[in-house]
């Protein structure tokens, strides 16, 4: 579930966003592990791209007034000193992540966002400390993490932005935390983890007790202490399990409790959002060849509204100091505008002999059920494409579209497109049924790289090293 804060953003002047960096970093690595992004130097840029992509989304969608990014330190923490087996089962961090973390820290600093990592403490503890301080000063605090441990910190002013599959973030307040884990108060997450343990952190908990049983115990008794105190009233084998694990349960509760008093010489006012150091950002993006971010931060003028039927060969884009993309003016092309009956008939005779073609519909709006067709574009050969201009009059438009019915119904021709669901539904409004095999580039990209954005501009830059014309 993706929860938008658009209405809240308009009202909220004081929002502190705290980002737990490593879950995003690991998520970016594993999402693209089988098909990593690489630049022309052969460097793996997937992790950096994934992190920056998520950071950009957070800045845009959640409009923080204060922000910080928190990393785990390489040093052992107080939990390791208490319990040497803490996280001992975890595999070594992949070398690609080790190589990417310094670059990510440099990028975050170029965004002018404070970075924290403190020896002896985990990111959880730093986030917890800053969250409590921010809430005490009247800020709404959003903690960006997939880790359920953080749910213990949720209160009236502190919420979680749980990272979920794909690009989504799930906003969780007190009620949602309680509903999701079957507890009465978010602070009971500590007791829940103490009873059920946490395999990811190698925390033992009560032997033989899983999440469902732990939830039932808390519903009956309210806390770990009460469970232990009233263990004689527990029935069956569970009674024995609890009584034999008393010390381990108590110890586990200490381990899973997030420290909110990390010694930090920082004021919440130090976390106010500041102006980005764009030149520094672009130097890094350029070196890594992260083209979409280069494009985003090299726009020097407001977008110009262009006519759909302008002579595209005369369009010039703003000069981009750091751009390494090709564009229309630098690529040989033959794009034809078709707007009379004879040309349409000749075009149909030619395209009907092809094994495949790409197509797209141009419409008056994005609402398929109220939009009108403006035109259709087709391509089956590199650097050659056709645009069928359709009349504004609906009846005249329908007559031309009807001529394309046999083409779209031909099951022997593969049809290719981007977000084909829209185009197929749009044509259906004109009585055209699209049959045969379909290949949707947006769906294909989602399947191989779900963490990334799937728009046409992004795909063109990533795979074709090409900057599209926008209008």
The tens digit of pLDDT for each residue in 148-162 reads: 899 999 999 999 998
Average pLDDT for residues 90-103, to the nearest whole number?
Answer: 86
Average pLDDT for residues 113-137, to the nearest whole number?
Answer: 93
Measured at the alpha carbon of residue 255, what is the angle toward residues 253 and 258, in degrees to the nearest 5? 95
pLDDT at 88 over 70: no
Strands laid side by side in the 115-116 sheet: 115-116, 66-70, 15-20, 140-144, 158-163, 169-172
- Predicted pLDDT at 83: 63
Q: Are strands 140-144 and 15-20 parallel, antiparallel or unpaired?
A: parallel
- Predicted pLDDT at 61: 87
| Contact indicator for 25, 451 with CB cutoff of 8 Å | no
> d(Cα 194, Cα 94) in Å, to the nearest integer?
30
pLDDT at 26 over 50: yes
- Predicted pLDDT at 273: 94
pLDDT at 336 over 70: yes
User: pLDDT tens, 393-434?
Assistant: 989 999 999 999 999 999 999 999 999 999 999 999 999 999
> d(Cα 307, Cα 184) in Å, to the nearest integer?
58
pLDDT at 50 over 60: yes
What residue ranges in 327-437 does DSSP mark as E strands?
334-338, 356-363, 373-381, 384-389, 414-417
By percentage, how much of the chain surpasses pLDDT 90? Answer: 48
By percentage, how much of the chain surpasses pLDDT 70? Answer: 89
Closest by CA to 285, choosing from 273, 276, 294, 277, is: 294
Q: Where in the chain is the domain with CATH 3.40.50.1010?
A: 6-271
- Predicted pLDDT at 112: 96
Average pLDDT for residues 13-27, to the nearest whole number?
Answer: 91
Least confident of 6-15, 252-261, 269-278, 310-319: 310-319
pLDDT at 10 over 50: no
- Predicted pLDDT at 303: 40
User: pLDDT tens, 164-192?
Assistant: 755 568 889 999 999 989 999 999 999 99
Closest by CA to 57, choosing from 19, 26, 23, is: 19
Angle between helices 46-62 and 95-110 (to 10 degrees): 40
Residue 304, strand partner residues: none
User: pLDDT tens, 181-234?
Assistant: 999 999 999 999 988 888 777 788 888 888 889 898 998 899 889 888 888 888
pLDDT confidence bin for 315, thresholds 50/70/90: very low
> d(Cα 65, Cα 13) in Å, to the nearest integer?
6
Least confident of 82-91, 137-146, 317-326, 458-467: 317-326
Least confident of 191-205, 223-237, 245-259, 293-307: 293-307
pLDDT confidence bin for 451, thresholds 50/70/90: low
| Contact indicator for 367, 361 with CB cutoff of 8 Å | no
At 122 the three-state DSSP class reads: coil
Q: Where in the chain is the domain with CATH 3.30.420.10?
A: 301-464
pLDDT confidence bin for 1, thresholds 50/70/90: very low
- Predicted pLDDT at 459: 84
Global pTM value: 0.63
Q: Which CATH architecture has domain 6-271?
A: 3-Layer(aba) Sandwich (3.40)
CATH topology classification for 301-464: Nucleotidyltransferase; domain 5 (3.30.420)
pLDDT at 300 over 80: no
- Predicted pLDDT at 454: 84
- Predicted pLDDT at 165: 58
- Predicted pLDDT at 301: 37
- Predicted pLDDT at 304: 38
């Amino acid at each position: 579930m993706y929860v938008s804060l658009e209405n809240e953003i308009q009202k909220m002047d004081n929002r502190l966003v705290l980002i737990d960096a490593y879950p995003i970093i690991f998520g970016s690595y594993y999402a693209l592990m089988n098909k990593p992004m690489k630049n022309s130097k052969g460097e793996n840029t997937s992790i950096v791209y994934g992190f920056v992509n998520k950071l950009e989304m957070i800045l845009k969608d959640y409009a923080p007034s204060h922000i910080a990014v928190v990393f785990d330190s390489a040093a052992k923490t107080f939990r390791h000193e208490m319990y040497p087996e803490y996280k001992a089962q975890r595999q070594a961090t992949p070398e690609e992540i080790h190589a990417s973390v310094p670059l990510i820290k440099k990028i975050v600093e170029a965004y002018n966002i404070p970075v924290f990592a403190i020896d002896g403490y985990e990111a959880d503890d730093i986030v917890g400390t800053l969250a409590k301080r921010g809430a005490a000063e009247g800020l709404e605090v959003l903690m960006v993490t997939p880790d359920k441990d953080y749910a213990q910190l949720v209160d009236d002013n502190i919420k979680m932005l749980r990272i979920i599959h794909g690009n989504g973030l799930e906003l969780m307040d007190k009620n949602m935390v309680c509903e999701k884990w079957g507890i009465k108060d978010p602070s009971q997450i500590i007791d829940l983890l103490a009873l059920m343990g946490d395999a990811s952190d190698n925390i033992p908990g009560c032997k033989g007790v899983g999440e469902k049983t732990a939830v039932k115990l808390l519903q009956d008794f309210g806390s770990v202490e009460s469970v232990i105190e009233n263990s004689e009233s527990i029935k069956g084998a569970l009674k024995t399990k609890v009584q034999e694990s008393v010390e381990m349960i108590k110890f586990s509760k200490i381990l899973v409790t997030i420290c909110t008093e990390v010694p930090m010489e920082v004021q919440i006012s130090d976390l106010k959002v500041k102006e980005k150091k764009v030149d520094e950002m672009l130097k890094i993006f350029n070196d890594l060849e992260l083209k979409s971010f280069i494009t985003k931060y090299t726009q020097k003028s407001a977008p110009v509204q262009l006519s759909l039927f302008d002579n595209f060969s005369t369009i010039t884009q703003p000069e981009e100091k750091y751009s390494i993309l090709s564009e229309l003016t630098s690529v040989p092309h033959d794009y034809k505008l078709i707007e009379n009956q004879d040309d349409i008939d000749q075009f149909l005779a030619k395209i009907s002999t092809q094994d495949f073609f790409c197509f797209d519909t141009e419409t008056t709006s994005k609402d398929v059920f109220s939009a009108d067709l403006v035109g259709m574009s087709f391509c089956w050969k590199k650097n050659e494409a056709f645009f069928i201009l359709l009349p504004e009059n609906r009846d005249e438009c329908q007559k031309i579209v009807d001529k394309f019915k046999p083409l779209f119904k031909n099951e022997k021709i593969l049809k290719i497109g981007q977000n084909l669901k829209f185009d197929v539904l749009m044509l259906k409004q004109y009585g055209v049924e699209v049959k045969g095999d379909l290949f949707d580039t947006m769906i294909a990209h989602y399947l191989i790289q779900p963490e990334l954005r799937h728009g046409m501009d992004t795909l063109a830059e990533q795979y074709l090293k090409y900057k599209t014309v926008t209008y």
